[in-house]
Amino acid sequence: MAKELAFVMINPYTIRKSRTGGVIARYLGRTDLHLVGARMFGPSLELATEYAEAIRRREPADSPFGDLLYDYVMREYAPNPVTGRPHRVMCLLFEGEDAISKIWQLTGSVSLQWGQGQTVRETYGDYIVDANNNVT
């Protein structure tokens, strides 16, 4: 099998909660992939919008996650609408055999599987609701 490149985006919430080291360690420790690049940056409104739309297009039409993820990316990745200040995001680039599949598997599903803790999302993901008890 040929070598592949795969990326991981560490979102601003994870960075603000100081979970970045744990997330990186999980990818390095639980795969045989090589970390070949890392960059922290503040996405522009255009980049955040393009990324949010790509995520929405990837979800099946009947999935409840498309709009939820779109709204999340626009709220958390795009610059603050009041101050214009960008939010920090980290992009990690991994290389290795079957890298895309390994990253998908270790990252985990958007829907939380209670009690597992085997994936990055199960370990570091938070279940956040607003004042009306809607998932944000």
Q: Is the pTM of this model over 0.85?
A: no
* Spans of all domains in the chain: 1-42+89-136, 43-87
Overall CATH class of domain 1-42+89-136: alpha beta
Residue with tokens 């994870």: 14
pLDDT tens, position by position, for the chain (136 residues)? Answer: 789 999 999 999 899 999 999 999 999 999 999 999 999 999 999 999 999 999 889 888 788 788 888 998 999 999 999 999 999 999 999 999 999 999 999 988 766 666 667 888 777 777 777 788 877 7
Nearest partner of 88 among 23, 8, 10, judged by Cα? 10
Contacts 24+ apart (CB under 8 A), 43-48: 43/77, 43/78, 43/79, 43/86, 43/87, 43/89, 44/79, 44/86, 45/78, 45/79, 47/77, 48/73, 48/74, 48/77, 48/78, 48/79
Q: Residue 55: helix, strand or coil by DSSP?
A: helix
